A and B are shown apart, each in its own frame.
With several copies, the nearest count.
Chain A
């Protein structure tokens, strides 16, 4: 096995990371957009609270976040019974890994979308309103297309974060090869023992490759959006 050949376990980690990052971003985007909209456009009781809550995963040590996830979504967690009824298991599953990654990426995605929302010229929304577009349609046809570069930026940062995340992931879903071992947790495991520098380097190369790819893709997309 030469240095650049990936072992099956590494390939599994690679595929899983890609899956986890993609799923977590895809599922967070709509929710993040909604939350960003609330935070940017509405004044309501609990605004500050929601804002703080969204930022929490950024502030807390990832392990704490993972622990809180366990408390909430573990088998014996607060929502454990509900999840059980739904036949959904999160702890120690890849779905749980995606959840953990999504929670960790969430504040970054919300911030990006919120900034984009705040930069949208309300005059354009007014114009759409006078043309008879309901708030929902204004959002769909005017606001959303205008914030797409911001959404994209959020998605990429979120994707990168989801790829790099392991603290909450490993705590919530542990590190089961083929099931919940992402590149990041594989790297972590490798780092625990001496003399694994080559393997670590290979894994890091992989994850950098993935996220640089996502970055470049997003830049190209963004440029295409803006060019018109």
Chain B
């Protein structure tokens, strides 16, 4: 017996492992479908047979909640942090002059600041720091967190704002300055159970066993 889990692509390694564990201890097999949150949300809206939807994109979460009558509220299953990342391990002073010096006329890699969650949070943080206006023309907005990571790891950009979890799993990329969680909204991954079967799986995600896996991939407990 199978059920469908729609999850944001950035959760793939952790979810793959959790799903495998889950299968071992229950007779249910979760089928994982990874894509951009926007795609998954639209599919669910169009009647996709999803049992759970897991995403970091709160916008789409709310959109779905508005649209569908869901029995259960979304649950936070993991958290993340933002960091400034670079190929060089030299720590960064989170001040404008140092940032600009590091960029050296180059660009700061972030995902799309108007749409991709990481981009949204990064923009909020820069806004709170008061850097956004100055840095705006220096931003290289990319389609997703992964692309920004590539830009940083290939040295196309001297600096990027990335998820701490991504930086942790990417060799050759260093976190050069933490970004305080106070500067932006909570970076959370939420799961919406759509069916009963889905609800069971969401419950499982909150168990320490699953949480351990999330943490293994650099995510934080909710």
Contacts and interface: CB of A to CB of B under 8 A. Distances in A.
Contact, chains A and B (beta carbon distance below 8 A)? yes
Interface in B125-180: 139-144, 146-147, 149-151, 153-156, 166, 169-171
Contacts of B81: none
B46 A192 contact: no
Interface string B1-40: 0001010011011000000000000000001111111111
Contacts of A176: 4, 31-33, 107, 139-141
Contacts of A174: 6, 33, 35, 39-40, 43, 48, 107, 109, 140-142, 147, 151
A177 B43 contact: no
A171 to B, nearest CB: 5
B169 A177 contact: no
Contact of A194 (B34, B107, B170): B170
Q: Which residue among B34, B154, B155, B166 has the maximum number of chain A CB atoms within 10 Å of its CB?
A: B34
Nearest to A75: B47
Q: DSSP class of B's interface residues: helix, strand, loop or mixed?
A: mixed
Nearest to A179: B31
B49 interface: yes
B146 A76 contact: no
Nearest to B144: A192
Nearest to A74: B46
Nearest to B87: A76
Contacts of B60: 193-194
Interface string A27-57: 0000000000000000000000000000000
Interface string A171-190: 10011111111000100111
Q: Which residue among B6, B115, B153 has the maximum number of chain A CB atoms within 10 Å of its CB?
A: B115
A100 to B, nearest CB: 13
Interface stretch (A14-22, A63-71, A125-133, A209-217): A63-71
A172 to B, nearest CB: 8
B115 A67 contact: no
A106 to B, nearest CB: 22
B112 A74 contact: no
A117 B147 CA distance: 40
B42 to A, nearest CB: 6
A193 B46 contact: no
17 contacts: A66-B39, A67-B150, A74-B155, A75-B46, A76-B46, A91-B47, A92-B43, A170-B147, A174-B35, A178-B31, A185-B35, A189-B9, A191-B115, A192-B9, A192-B34, A192-B116, A194-B63
